[in-house]
Amino acid sequence: METLLGLFEAARWAPSAFNAQPWRFVYARRGTPAFERFVAALVPGNQAWARGAAALVAVVSQEVLTLPGQSAPAPFPSHSFDAGAAWAQLALQAYLWGWSTHAIGGFDAKLAREALALPDHHHVEVFVAIGRQGDPAGLPDWARAREKPSDRRPLADLVREGSFAG
Ligand SMILES: Cc1cc2nc3c(=O)[nH]c(=O)nc-3n(C[C@H](O)[C@H](O)[C@H](O)COP(=O)(O)O)c2cc1C
């Protein structure tokens, strides 16, 4: 629990537009009824490996909120972007402490909503599996085949000076 709280502490210091902090986290530890509900919301391919995690965390963003100085709630355009920054900070802190994290976008939105008792105007961005690196031998064949370092596009594909035409 201390570790999880430390990870949320890292996440909560992420920057956000107007410092609105539109991220929310709902956690479930393995062996609890909530964990089973979270697992059941995942698509079967993700259930196969994610059920071995020590904890699952739902990263939720608030789509509509009342900004400081405003009197009424309004759609908040950067809710997903800001929640993404928070998740990245959580993942980096976990890595520094020797834990693995794996974001999971493959879930049933309706089941996730029910599992979390999600309030209106909230959006489930991802579930995050958190745990110690396991032995790939325990994985199904298709999942074991993925267990190799992943690459990234070169900077030349990603970066332009001035405009896309540049
Ligand atoms: C928003 C998001 C959704 C993802 N959804 C899934 C998923 O449903 N299942 C899965 O196995 N991995 C999922 N991933 C993990 C990515 O596939 C993984 O981060 C990517 O392939 C790069 O691999 P690496 O993080 O090991 O470098 C997701 C990652 C993100 C950021």
The predicted-structure confidence for 26-36, as pLDDT tens digits, reads as follows: 999 999 999 99
Shortest-distance Cα residue to atom 23 of ligand 1: 150
86 pocket-lining for ligand 1 (C-beta < 6 Å): no
CA 26 – CA 39 distance, rounded (Å): 13
pLDDT digits (tens, 9 = 90+) for 62-113: 999 999 889 999 999 999 999 999 999 999 999 999 999 999 999 999 999 9
Kindly tell me if the per-residue pLDDT of 166 is higher than 80: no
| Helix-then-strand count for the chain, H and E | 7, 6
Alpha-carbon torsion angle 157, 158, 161, 162, nearest 10: 120
pLDDT band at 115 (very low <50, low <70, confident <90, very high): very high
**Amino acid (1-letter code) at residue 144:** R
Q: How many residues does the chain have?
A: 166
Annotated domain spans of the chain? 2-158
16 pocket-lining for ligand 1 (C-beta < 6 Å): no
73 pocket-lining for ligand 1 (C-beta < 6 Å): no
CA 62 – CA 67 distance, rounded (Å): 12
What average pLDDT does range 54-66 have in this prediction? 97
CA 138 and chain centroid, separation: 24
Give the position of tokens 């325990």: 138
Question: Ligand 1, residues 60, 104, 123, 147: which to mutate, most atoms within 8 A of Cβ?
Answer: 104
Say what the pLDDT of residue 50 is. 96
Say what the pLDDT of residue 11 is. 98
Eight-class DSSP state of 118: P
Say what the pLDDT of residue 140 is. 84
pLDDT band at 136 (very low <50, low <70, confident <90, very high): confident
Q: How far is the CA of 146 from the centre of ligand 1 (A)?
A: 11
Q: How far is the CA of 47 from the centre of ligand 1 (A)?
A: 14
Task: Kindly give the number of the ligand 1 atom that is closest to the alpha carbon of 102.
Answer: 15
In sequence order, what are the residues at sequence separation of 6 or more whose Cβ sits closer than 8 angstroms to the Cβ of residue 48? 139, 140, 143
Nearest to 79 by CA among 52, 60, 100: 60
Say what the pLDDT of residue 75 is. 96
Say what the pLDDT of residue 157 is. 95
Give CATH for domain 2-158: 3.40.109.10
